[in-house]
Structure 1
Amino acid sequence: MKRVLVTGATSGIGYELGKTLCEKGHSVVATGRNLAKLEELSELTGCQIVQADLSDPQQALELVDKAVELLGGLDILINNAGMNSRKCGIDEFTLEEFDYQYAVNLRAPAVLSREALKVMKPVKSGQIINVLSTVAKRSNETMSVYTAMKQGLAGFSAILMKEAQPYGIKVTSLFPGGTDTNFRDVDRPQYMHPKSVAETIAVLLELPQDVVMHEMVFRPPVELE
């Protein structure tokens, strides 16, 4: 049984991840902005919840401490929260959109990783999983800001892996492809189901102790790259 903090747990991959990890017997703190969905998840799974808006740096700073208090420690951090305000050309994005995406998609997971590292290094154990996107492997028009933040997090995560691993802490950068979530304007049944993605992520918690998955790219069958 692992003590796990999952961000972005009120919908899509994060919601399914909360369910999947609890089903596997892990002790979970789920967090997100939507209190009603958090309470629904808690009633369904028995997980503990913390309402938090990760665009607020203070709330991001305090989140790991709250999870440690509720769980009695922290074995796994899964930085799943992310957002894309809209698709638009580079000449159309607003400063407000840029700043918000930076706060949620890059600053928050970086801060949470930093705080988790402070908890995990003294015990020389732990795991940090950063959920990125295959957009970080590509250069899609109209996705400039989101791609920039995800590529920034990929770079941060790669260095985090090198700094954490000597202390027995595993770091994985995940690059899931198309997923049929409310992240998208229209249903995409040909894409991966959020539960399928959640079950794939959960496998990382069960790898042998002498195996570290540094990066994992996975896509639905309809995507070739």
Structure 2
Amino acid sequence: MSYQTVFITGATRGLGRALVIDLCSKGYQVFASGRDEIQLQQLIEQTGCLGVSCDLSQAEAVVPLFQKAQQALGHIDVLINNAGMNSRKCELAETTLEEFEQQYAVNLRAPYLLCREAMQEMLPKKHGYIINIVSTVAKRSNPAMSIYTAMKQGFAGLNNVLMKEAQPHGIKVTAIYPGGMNTAFRDQARPQYMQPESVATMVSQLLSNPEDVVVHELTCRPMVELE
């Protein structure tokens, strides 16, 4: 196994939780973080993963979280930036600065800091993998999604530059663009959308790809959704 240790954010619900379960079942050592302490403890008991709860909207908590993952795992082969949030759908004129700053903190600042820390560990080894869960919203311009779209498009830009900086050093970077998923991220169930377990399967397969192949982008959508 080329990659053995994985650090995943946003791991207590939806895709993050499905990823922890999937990767632990395949023998990876996983460190998980999320805001929900109760859900995280249940996940630790269910899978045997390691982890601590953390609020990524607090800038001063992000680097210490990465350091805790390093200490628990010994080293980090794979970083999966999965945490994300959208406070609500509304037109730009109705948004607040508080909403903007919260989404910036979770959707862009936190993954930036974690990517930076991961690169500092991976560069000397010339080995590692960073997987950034973006969203197909970054490929669109949907009304009532101004702040979330801005942050995800910024995240996509960050990922694309990082990919070009990392690849010459043997470090793989992949942006994942999932379409509609049936998770608690939405106000009501969407059974016609992708199940998080299905997307987790797609993501975890990246870690077993041949050494001489890197997937720069992976876009996946439910069958009911077209571009």
> TM-score higher than 0.5 here?
yes
The residue aligned with 1:32 is 34
The equivalences for 1:170-181 within 5 A come to 170-181=172-183
SS of 1:129's equivalent in the other structure is strand
Q: CA deviation at 1:12?
A: 0.5
The equivalences for 1:72-87 within 5 A come to 72-87=74-89
SS of 2:93's equivalent in the other structure is coil
The residue aligned with 2:12 is 10
The residue aligned with 2:69 is 67
The residue aligned with 1:119 is 121
* Percent sequence identity over aligned pairs: 59
C-alpha deviations, 1:159-210, integer Å up to 9, x for none?
Answer: 0001111111000011000000000001000000011111111011111000
Q: CA deviation at 1:58?
A: 1.2
Q: CA deviation at 1:51?
A: 1.2
The residue aligned with 1:187 is 189
Query: Match of 2:18, as an amino acid?
Result: E
The residue aligned with 1:215 is 217
User: Matched residues in 2 for 1:53 and 1:167: separation?
Assistant: 31
SS of 2:94's equivalent in the other structure is coil
User: Matched residues in 1 for 2:61 and 2:207: separation?
Assistant: 26
Query: Match of 1:167, as an amino acid?
Result: H
Q: Runs of 5+ in structure 1 lacking a partner?
A: none
User: Matched residues in 1 for 2:145 and 2:171: separation?
Assistant: 32
SS of 2:173's equivalent in the other structure is strand
Q: CA deviation at 1:109?
A: 0.3
The equivalences for 1:87-166 within 5 A come to 87-166=89-168
Query: Match of 2:187, as an amino acid?
Result: D
SS of 2:183's equivalent in the other structure is coil
Query: Match of 2:181, as an amino acid?
Result: T
Verify: 1:224 aligned to 2:226, yes or no. yes
User: Matched residues in 2 for 1:56 and 1:211: separation?
Assistant: 36
User: Matched residues in 2 for 1:137 and 1:79: separation?
Assistant: 18
Verify: 1:20 aligned to 2:22, yes or no. yes
User: Matched residues in 1 for 2:162 and 2:65: separation?
Assistant: 19
SS of 2:114's equivalent in the other structure is helix
SS of 1:222's equivalent in the other structure is coil
SS of 2:92's equivalent in the other structure is coil
Q: CA deviation at 1:60?
A: 0.8
